[in-house]
Amino acid sequence: MELNRRSFLAGGTLFAAGALARTAAAARAKGEETYTPPPVVRGVRRVKAEPVLQCPAPDSMGVAWAVDGLANGAVEFSDNPQLQNAKTVRCGGFGMTSFDDQALQVRLVGLKPGTRYWYRTITMPIAVYKSAYTIQLGEPEVGNVHSFVTPGESVPARFCVMNDTHENWKQFGPIVEDILAFGPALTVWNGDATNTTEEKARAVETFLAPPIARKDYAADIPLLFTNGNHDFRGKWIRRLDEVMMARLPSERSSRDWDLKRNFAFRLGDVAMIGLDTGEDKPDWHPKWMGFANFSPYRAAQAVWLKDALARPEIANAPYIVVFCHIPLFDSDPDANPGDRFENWADWQKECADLWGPLFAEAGVQVVVAAHKHHYRYDPATASRPWAQVVGGGPGKNPWNFPTVIKGETTGGELKLTVKNILTGQVVGKHAFKPRKGFLGIS
């Protein structure tokens, strides 16, 4: 729901002042008893960190931010840094807008592809809440102005990938600093952001207010999130959409509405495809107690994927990159393909069988995966015509180290550079030519 920003902020008391004044004036005109709102409570602060951009799409953007007490909020946005003629979108949309004591969310829609927008959050503290009719407000908290660029074919293809961060804040801080220094259009968080999530506060810390120096870590660079196996663990994690938004239903057909994390769009010359490999043990594993239902989920994604790869803007892209958490190949003959009882999956054969033929048919050049906590590169072969880059992560062995994977199109190629964040050394460079037979390339 959009409002004029001037009316939104008028009077110094967000939302309520104008409406209460009009109601009181009407009541006085009728000779009725009027209601005098309680005074604003001074000094109440709710905002814990800068906003986090989520679910970037050519025509929409999610904004979420952490609060440490009951609050309502909104986002102002415009096509200029002065926020002239800004539109305002309230959290919760129409009807009674949202209150929450940990996280607020706003979805900006109707945006233009490849366009820079400036925005800021406005947070209204609910200083006292006794009942629906007994509420006392604090002073509105007006956030800093940030900006973002919506994805599109006109945007230079420049992205980063982080993975298997596992709430390891000592390593997460340098990962963030490296990404911010590179300045990508977006960052893919390729799974296992969490360990086990039993309460909302843990998810808010992980995604919206991590204990690192850069509180603005995703305020100007949006996050594309793909689930890892750990991101399905814990009682509360089933409600992750309250912190990390799902993709908009308008991005997919009604048949695919349950596929809330899959994405497919263009970033310059690169088609970005996001898939979800699910948990790392088969559905029948006794640890899941019958609650797991990932095999049908993977099959449903194959149906969605076939349609997504056929869309003109994807089919005509010079490069197609797929992001998923669990690798889809392992050269070790003893590696668990995800269907064994005794151990966790080294790779996901079910996904490879379902999705791999579609990759080959569409000309996907590379899959970027994670999960193993050590960097690896698997070059394409005649039987598997797509390469695989596996990002690193924390561990006790010398080959376990966190990585940032940087992608960009330059010199007529898509180049992926893999950096060891502990040492600062580049440990891998991989280049891919444009797909043959597409866009007139032979």
279 closest CA partner among 338, 224, 329: 338
* Residue-wise pLDDT tens digits, 67-90: 999 999 999 999 999 999 999 999
Map out the domains of the chain with their CATH numbers.
Answer: 2-149 (2.60.40.10), 158-432 (3.60.21.10)
Query: What does the pLDDT profile of the chain (442 residues) look like in tens digits?
Result: 444 444 445 433 444 444 444 444 555 566 666 667 788 999 999 999 999 999 999 999 999 999 999 999 999 999 999 999 999 999 998 899 999 999 999 999 999 999 999 999 999 999 999 999 999 999 999 999 999 999 999 999 999 999 999 999 999 999 999 999 999 999 999 999 999 999 999 999 999 999 999 999 999 999 999 999 999 999 999 999 999 999 999 999 999 999 999 999 999 999 999 999 999 999 999 999 999 999 999 999 999 999 999 999 999 999 999 999 999 999 999 999 999 998 899 999 999 999 999 999 999 999 999 999 999 999 999 999 999 999 999 988 999 999 999 999 999 999 999 999 999 999 999 999 999 766 544 3
Residue with tokens 């945006």: 111
**Terminal Cα-to-Cα distance of the chain (whole angstroms):** 48
Q: Which residues contact 77 (CB under 8 A, 6 or more apart)?
A: 83, 86, 87, 89, 108, 117, 118, 119
For residue 67, what is the DSSP state?
B
pTM listed for this prediction: 0.93
pLDDT at 436: 79
Find out whether 193 and 165 touch, Cβ atoms under 8 Å: yes
